[in-house]
């Protein structure tokens, strides 16, 4: 059962995520105790031949393990094999452990996925009105959940979903690989994720989420596939991950127009470090465009962005409301990026016609610093909103090598203000309209009584 491996893993995780208030989520510690009970999926009749549907085996195993929630929790062990399944739900105080050579395969029959109501902060499915397909692995109002392994794999077999999306024959919005809703103390680690129908990992309305040491990939042609999506969640750590997707690698969200404004839960206190990100048609790191509940207090450091259409992008539009503020992105290496930095106030559609066009989003206190880029086509495109300009962008110590084939301006700016220091090539004059060319206008995220603030 590899119990010793699991014990050591959980003890090491105890050094990684937090129960004590510290400055950054990736530095904090969550006290995870080893599970005193463990069962194998084999004990519930599962067959790892890649053909037998094991949904009932997963459901029955987790129903059984639920009885150990008040006894220290339990582990569901998945041994080597190819375990075909439809959607199933997790329970609290559970560890799902995938052994090396274990592959959970998502069924390519949509009837095996189930249908869910729309998320309240979205009001409808992202891609189609109405409900949405259940994710492969789901959790609702859970506490203390660990999804981990010895580099086992979760494979969404998403090619059929991509074909249905491209041919406009979907009946509902596509599912994700993992979606945890209104849950806390969540760990996802030491796994490989491939070929999700849409998102790979989607924590929504969650607290204390730690995602580390995972590999996530989908082919360049996969439409709007996304790696990790913290959504209306707080105290999130993402570190030591390698992600290459058809669309965005990591994107932060918090609800859509009037639904996100009404739900009012921001994504805040997020720490991302030591990640390698690649995006074929989106951005390596993105904020929005669904950000109506607000996004704030985000620290990104020690990142490598490469072979991507966009490097770092901030997205919003009229009707979103909300804010993106107090963001620090530093120690960045970029290679082969079309647009290194982008901020758009004309990005994305609306869920319906009931949005308020006067709900103007705010972008404020965005700090981009210590960046080296090679083979960049456009250094930056900042296009704010006339009625609500983007403010307090601070660029410092940025050196971008523009590729020889670029025939456009290195920086394109409108309705944005801020400051710059030691930036090459020289940014738009609009960025210096509010402040002198001085680093004193910049800021950093610090912690005051356990709460990140911009100074």
pLDDT digits (tens, 9 = 90+) for 212-230: 999 999 999 999 999 999 9
Q: Which of 50, 45, 41, 56 is nearest to 95 (CA)?
A: 41
Residue 424 lies in a domain: yes
Spatial separation of the C-alpha atoms in residues 85 and 267, rounded to whole Å: 31
Residue 382 lies in a domain: yes
For residue 147, what are its two tokens? Answer: 């999804």
Residue range 380-424, pLDDT digits in tens: 999 999 999 999 999 999 999 998 776 667 899 999 999 999 999
Q: What is the structure's pLDDT at 452?
A: 30
Helix (H) or strand (E) holding 184: strand 184-189
Confidence of residue 10 (pLDDT cuts 50, 70, 90): very low
Number of domains present in the structure of the chain: 1
Residue 61 lies in a domain: no
End-to-end CA distance of the chain: 50
Residue 17 lies in a domain: no
Measured between alpha carbons, how far is residue 248 from residues 123, 186, 239, 278, 281 in Å? 22, 22, 17, 8, 8
Residue 4 lies in a domain: no
Spatial separation of the C-alpha atoms in residues 240 and 261, rounded to whole Å: 33
Tell me what the mean pLDDT of segment 300-311 comes to.
Answer: 98
Confidence of residue 448 (pLDDT cuts 50, 70, 90): very low
Question: Residue 9: is its pLDDT beyond 80?
Answer: no
Helix (H) or strand (E) holding 12: helix 3-13
| Domain range enclosing 407 | 281-295+305-454
CA angle in degrees (0–180, nearest 5) for 216-219-220 = 115
What percentage of the chain has pLDDT greater than the value 70? 88
For residue 119, what are its two tokens? Answer: 């998320």
Residue 377 lies in a domain: yes
- Supply the DSSP string of 212-247, one letter for each residue: ES-EEE--TTSTT-EEE--BS-EEEEEEEEEEEESS
For residue 409, what are its two tokens? Answer: 């301006």
Contact 248, 279 (CB under 8 A): yes
Q: What is the structure's pLDDT at 442?
A: 59
Q: Which of 116, 114, 115, 126 is nearest to 259 (CA)?
A: 126
Q: What is the structure's pLDDT at 454?
A: 31
CA angle in degrees (0–180, nearest 5) for 22-139-44 = 125
68 half-sphere exposure, CB direction, 13 A CA radius: 20
The neighbour count for residue 300, using CB atoms within 10 Å, is 21
Q: What is the structure's pLDDT at 31?
A: 65
For residue 16, what are its two tokens? Answer: 């990684």
Measured between alpha carbons, how far is residue 383 from residues 211, 217, 388 in Å? 32, 30, 11
Residue 450 lies in a domain: yes
Task: Pick the more confident residue, 22 or 320.
Answer: 320
In 3-state terms, what secondary structure has residue 343?
strand
SS (H, E, C) 317-369: ECCCCCEEEEEEEEEEEEEEEEEEEEEECECCCCCCCCCCCCCCCEEEEEEEE
Residue 406 lies in a domain: yes
Question: Residue 19: is its pLDDT beyond 60?
Answer: no
Contact 104, 79 (CB under 8 A): no
Confidence of residue 36 (pLDDT cuts 50, 70, 90): very high
Confidence of residue 32 (pLDDT cuts 50, 70, 90): low
């Amino acid at each position: 059962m590899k119990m010793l491996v699991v014990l050591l893993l959980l003890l090491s995780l105890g050094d990684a995520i937090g129960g004590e208030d510290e400055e950054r989520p990736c530095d904090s510690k969550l006290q995870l105790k080893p599970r005193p009970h463990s069962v194998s999926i084999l004990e519930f009749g599962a067959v790892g031949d890649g053909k037998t549907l094991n949904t009932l085996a997963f459901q029955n195993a987790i129903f059984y393990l639920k009885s150990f929630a008040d006894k220290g929790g339990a582990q569901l062990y998945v041994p080597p094999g190819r375990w075909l399944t439809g959607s199933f739900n997790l329970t609290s105080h559970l560890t799902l452990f995938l052994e090396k050579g274990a592959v959970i395969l998502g069924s390519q029959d949509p009837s095996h996925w189930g249908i869910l109501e729309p998320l309240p902060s979205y009001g409808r499915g992202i891609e189609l009105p109405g409900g949405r397909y259940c994710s492969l692995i789901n959790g609702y109002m859970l506490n203390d959940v660990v999804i981990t392994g010895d580099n086992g794999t979760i494979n969404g077999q998403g090619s059929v979903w991509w074909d249905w999306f491209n041919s406009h024959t979907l009946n509902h919005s596509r599912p994700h690989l993992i979606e945890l809703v209104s849950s806390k103390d969540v760990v996802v680690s030491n796994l490989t994720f491939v070929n999700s129908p849409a998102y790979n990992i989607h924590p929504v309305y969650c607290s204390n989420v730690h995602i580390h040491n995972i590999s996530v990939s989908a082919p360049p042609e996969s439409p709007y596939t996304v790696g990790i999506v913290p959504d209306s969640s707080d105290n999130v750590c993402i570190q030591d991950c390698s992600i290459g997707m058809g669309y965005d690698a990591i994107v932060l969200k918090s609800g859509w127009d009037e639904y996100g404004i009404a739900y009012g839960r921001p994504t805040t206190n997020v720490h991302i470090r030591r990640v390698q990100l690649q995006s074929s048609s989106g951005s390596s790191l993105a904020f929005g465009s669904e950000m109506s509940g607000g996004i704030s207090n985000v620290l990104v450091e020690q990142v490598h962005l490469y072979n991507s259409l966009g490097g770092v992008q901030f997205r919003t539009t009229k009707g979103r409301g909300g804010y993106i503020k107090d963001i620090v992105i530093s120690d960045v290496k970029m290679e082969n990026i079309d647009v290194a930095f982008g901020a758009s106030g004309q990005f994305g559609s609306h869920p319906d016609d009931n949005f308020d066009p006067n709900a103007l989003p705010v972008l404020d206190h965005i700090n981009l610093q210590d960046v080296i880029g090679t083979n960049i086509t456009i250094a930056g495109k900042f296009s704010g909103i006339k009625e609500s300009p983007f403010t307090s962008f601070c660029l410092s110590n940025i050196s971008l090598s523009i590729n020889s084939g670029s025939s456009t301006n290195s920086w394109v700016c409108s309705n944005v203000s801020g400051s710059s220091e030691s930036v090459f090539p020289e940014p738009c004059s609009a960025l210096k309209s509010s402040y002198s060319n001085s680093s004193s206008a910049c800021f950093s995220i610090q912690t005051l009584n356990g709460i990140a603030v911009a100074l």
